[in-house]
Amino acid sequence: MKKVLALFLIITLFWSCGEDLDDNISTQANVNFSLTHSFGDTEVTLDNFTDLDLTNANGEILNIERIRYLISRIELVKPDGVSYRLKDYNFTDLSDNSSYSFNGDISIPSGVYTLRLVWGFNEEDNIDAAYTDLNTASWNWPSMLGGGYHFLQFDGKYNVNTASPSPFNYHNGTAKKLDGTLEQNFATIELPTAIFVENTTSIELKFDISELFKNPNVWDLNVLDTPLMPNYDAQKMMQANVQSVFSIGEISN
């Protein structure tokens, strides 16, 4: 009887310890992002982005010379509204392959999330000359137009199928009204795709460049090519069109 009781106590102790160990197993996860780019169904990469003839929604055939853009306040959001800031901002330059990916700065609890981010900087973060790396990249927005930083620089030529191609400079940032007042022009983008996060999770964030020219505003480059930075109406059209450029691609754990 004593042996049976001793064995029972040993089994009970072992089971309790096992439960404690299970309780202490970390459920934290790490998240990293890869950025991929397309123009509709055409893949756009470091190797081909300056070589493509692309047709926008208005029928202009164009070439890309440069695309650089900034996103900030990159967060994963739980169904109950609790959010985790993974990255303060990321600056992507299509000519720099290393800028196509970034890691989250914190670990977060495993679970189901959606992604939220800010296009450009919001008013709180868009501080003139505040970010050394962006200053070095000549990413500043002109002080006469409100200062702070660009959200997008997209340069190229259109009507390249004609004898007289023309340049375009699709640059996005703070909007200046005709009366001189300034209007914040960032966009908060929320993607509804459910993302299950566990262990180390990799998220593909897809950027469809063609959306900049069509949704909801079909863009006529023959009218809106240069200069667009001081053009209030053009800036507000850009703000509307960026809402549909991002989507969630492949998710792997």
Q: What is the pLDDT of residue 3?
A: 43
Mean per-residue pLDDT for 3-24? Answer: 38
Letter for the amino acid at 252?
A: S
How far is the CA of 1 from the CAs of 6, 7, 10, 16, 129, in angstroms? 9, 10, 14, 23, 80
Q: What is the pLDDT of residue 13?
A: 36
Q: What is the pLDDT of residue 174?
A: 98
Mean per-residue pLDDT for 102-119? Answer: 97
Q: What is the pLDDT of residue 221?
A: 98
Q: What is the pLDDT of residue 17?
A: 40
Q: Is the dihedral of CA 135, 138, 144, 149 positive or negative?
A: negative
Assess whether pLDDT exceeds 60 at residue 6. no
Assess whether pLDDT exceeds 60 at residue 214. yes
How far apart are alpha carbons 243 and 223 in whole angstroms? 22
Among residues 116, 120, 96, 127, the alpha carbon closest in space to that of 203 is found at: 116
pTM here is 0.88
Using 50, 70 and 90 to split pLDDT, how confident is the model at 112? very high
Give yes or no for a contact between 83 and 77, defined as CB atoms under 8 angstroms apart: yes
Parallel, antiparallel or unpaired: strands 200-208 and 28-39: parallel
Mean per-residue pLDDT for 84-91? Answer: 98
Between residues 12 and 201, the one the model is more confident about: 201
Among residues 78, 75, 80, 81, the alpha carbon closest in space to that of 112 is found at: 78
Mean per-residue pLDDT for 177-206? Answer: 96
Domains in the chain, number: 1
Percent above pLDDT 90 for the chain: 89
Q: What is the pLDDT of residue 127?
A: 96
Mean per-residue pLDDT for 176-202? Answer: 96
Question: Mean of the per-residue pLDDT values for the chain?
Answer: 91
Assess whether pLDDT exceeds 60 at residue 1. no
Surface-to-core class of residue 231, CB atoms within 10 Å of its CB (0-12 exposed, 13-18 middle, 19+ buried): middle
Letter for the amino acid at 8?
A: F
Mean per-residue pLDDT for 123-147? Answer: 97
Residue span of the structural domain in which 220 resides? 2-252
Using 50, 70 and 90 to split pLDDT, how confident is the model at 57? very high
